[in-house]
Homo-oligomer: A and B are copies of this chain.
């Protein structure tokens, strides 16, 4: 995969951020000089929520900036942690005096740079706290992480902590519910075809024409197993089986289900995957409270799917159902 709809790879993130803001100019703005997207109406009288990371995972994270979810998002270079400076700018742009919660996906560079930014902000008197999402059950440590990777489950943290903040909760309460989501959300993904970073000549990894990778990360990091292409139902059984046994999710549990496309997967195939996920969960007696099928946490044009479950209690259900401007999370 060599051809891309880009101009200069060096400017692709900046041009993307401009395109995101231009798509919703009444609601969003870009922080001058930084690849940071913020709500136009921030700061306001609530805890502010900020996330970010390397680009290439769109709509994550800038696509989740809006009422009821994030107040700001930092877009690093493609698959590269944003600088502490950029995170610091985002924090300053959205702080309304009630503090800022950073939602960090568990990658070593992200954790380090977000923590440095938090220190810079605290030195200026801004109250900052953070949570680290590590929902990927595939591997315990990885190429870029100590501990598990943060992947599609992060979107549920944005939604639920965002709703809590919008409802007027204090920083400690928003953090607490974010931690509750993190404890109850698990994901596993797979790839059929790799992606290519705009500035690179070659794909981030290679797969043979009859080969797939299970347990893959969102930057082409190795998964748990390379295997011959299987039927969709067998792939789903494998992914969902690993997710279910990890928490574990049990008969009688209520869950939110996310069937997430990795960027290059036709929606047709995601719905075929959703059909099987429904069958498996029904067999296990696990009740689907709400289903999300689409592209949430992508890896450029990688073809593949991830499956996420979030175990819900009454508080999480209410917050998951709370109003948001972000259409794909309604």
Q: Which residues of A contact B (CB under 8 A)?
A: 1-8, 12, 15-20, 22-24, 55-56, 58-59, 63, 78, 192-193, 195, 209-210, 212, 229, 231-233, 235, 263-275, 278, 291, 293, 295, 298, 300-301, 303-305, 327-328, 330
Chain B proximity of A147: nearest CB distance (Å): 28
What are 20 A-B contacts defined by CB distance under 8 Å? A2-B210, A3-B192, A3-B209, A5-B235, A5-B269, A5-B270, A5-B272, A15-B275, A16-B272, A17-B271, A19-B270, A19-B275, A19-B278, A19-B293, A56-B268, A264-B264, A264-B266, A265-B301, A266-B298, A301-B303
- Pairwise interchain contact A233-B19, C-beta atoms closer than 8 A: no
Given contacts A22-B278, A303-B3, contact A15 B272 (CB under 8 A): yes
Contact of B16 with A271 in the complex, beta carbons under 8 Å = yes
Q: Is the CB of A272 within 8 A of B19?
A: yes
| B18 pairs with A275, CB closer than 8 A | yes
Q: How far is the CB of A226 from chain B (nearest CB, A)?
A: 13
Interface of chain A, main secondary structure: mixed
When chains A and B are docked, how far (Å) is the Cα of A212 from the Cα of B2?
Answer: 11
Closest-by-CB residue of B relative to A271 is: B19
Shortest distance between the CB of A26 and any CB in chain B (Å): 10
A196 CB to closest chain B CB, in angstroms?
Answer: 10
Distance A20 CA – B304 CA, assembled complex (angstroms): 18
Closest to A279 in B: B22
On whether the beta carbons of B6 and A269 are closer than 8 Å, the reply is: yes
- Given A3-B209, A268-B300, 8 other A-B residues pairs in contact with their CB atoms under 8 A: A12-B272, A16-B275, A19-B278, A22-B291, A23-B293, A58-B271, A264-B266, A327-B327
Instruction: Identify the interface centre among A3, A266, A273, A301: most chain B CB within 10 Å of its CB.
Output: A266
Closest to A282 in B: B22
Q: Which residue in B15, B63, B193 is a CB contact (below 8 Å) of A267?
A: B63
- The answer for the CA separation of A7 and B272 in the assembled complex, in Å, is 8
Return the 9 tightest CB-CB contacts between A and B, nearest first.
A19-B271, A19-B275, A58-B267, A5-B269, A327-B327, A19-B274, A3-B192, A264-B264, A16-B271
Chain B nearest CB, measured from A58 CB (Å): 4
A163 to B14, CA, bound (A): 37
A293 to B295, CA, bound (A): 13
Contacts of A235 on B, CB cut-off 8 Å?
5
A301-B22 Cα distance, complex, nearest whole Å: 26
Q: Are B232 and A271 in contact (CB under 8 A)?
A: no
Whether A12 and B268, one on each chain, are in contact in the complex, defined by CB atoms closer than 8 angstroms, is: yes
- Given the interface contacts A278-B22, A301-B303, A327-B328, does A229 sit within 8 Å of B267 by beta carbon? no
Q: How far is the CA of A272 from the CA of B271 in the complex (A)?
A: 28
How far is A301 from B270 in the complex, measured between Cα atoms in Å? 12
